[in-house]
Amino acid sequence: MEKILNVPNHIAIIMDGNGRWAKNQNKPRVFGHKAGANTLRKIMEYCNKIGVTYLTVYAFSTENWKRSQEEVDALMFLFKSYIKSERENLLKNKIRFMVSGREEGVNLSLMEAIKELEEATSKDYEMTLNIAFNYGGRAEITDAVNKILKDGRTSITEEEFSKYLYNDIPDPDFVIRTSGEFRISNFLLWQIAYSEIYITDKYWPDFDEIEMEKAILSYSKRERRFGGRLDVK
């Protein structure tokens, strides 16, 4: 493998393909989500090891409530179990746990578990794991506008607007989507204005450290211009 020259400060991932991965093995979709949770653990630890500062993952969208009750219940249960089982690992690896999304609609005991782990991991950390949960980019922008109106603002700058979003963290440098779909699916609409995008055919449960290294290598070769031109100073 070539050496990674440039590690993104903030990586955001659309973890897609759990359902198809399970179907290929004649297993229920939930089996794919469980495997997806294991992949998340591996990728989080890898990102921490190579010096990524923020890792955001799309775990449940505002549209995912439309899935079958069985799948929604399983995803809620999985997230709650994850919060319990990952606690020690997050503290040991100095990873801050953070959730971005609408609180409305989320079960109260799950919300309490989220808040408790956010608080417990907020003191001493090197990397932040930001889980987009009950998250939609349009919902986030609408919620921000409503907070701004409540504050009685009559005008606002882009920098000020960013502070009204769910969490005040830097924009992603790099967005990865697994399972070969060329869509953004309402993910971080405001924040990805200048992010580099990478799409791989691998289903999320099959994504691993080697695939991640390939993705970051691709990122590290790109020239980011943020709308400007490198030849004009």
Residues contributing to the site for ligand FPP (CB under 6 A): 15-20, 33, 36-37, 40, 59, 64, 78-79, 82, 131, 179, 204
Cα 218 from Cα 197, distance rounded (Å): 10
Q: Would residue 134 show up in a list of annotated catalytic residues for this protein?
A: no
Q: How far is the CB of 97 from ligand FPP (least distance, A)?
A: 10
Q: Would residue 16 show up in a list of annotated catalytic residues for this protein?
A: yes
**Of the two residues 179 and 191, which places its CB atom closer to ligand FPP in the complex?**
179
Which DSSP string do the residues of 52-101 spell out, in sequence order?
A: -SEEEEEEEETTGGGS-HHHHHHHHHHHHHHHHHHHHHHHHTTEEEEEES
Q: Which residues contact 173 (CB under 8 A, 6 or more apart)?
A: 8, 9, 10, 11, 195, 196, 219, 224
Residue 207 to residues 44, 67, 202: CA-CA distances in angstroms?
12, 24, 6
**Of the two residues 56 and 195, which places its CB atom closer to ligand FPP in the complex?**
56
Q: By three-state DSSP, how is residue 130 classified?
A: strand
**Of the two residues 160 and 181, which places its CB atom closer to ligand FPP in the complex?**
181
**Of the two residues 10 and 33, which places its CB atom closer to ligand FPP in the complex?**
33
Query: Which residue in 9, 64, 167, 186 is the catalytic one?
Result: 64
Q: How far is the CB of 157 from ligand FPP (least distance, A)?
A: 33
* Residue of minimal Cβ distance to ligand FPP: 19
Q: How far is the CB of 66 from ligand FPP (least distance, A)?
A: 11
The residues assigned a catalytic role are: 16, 64
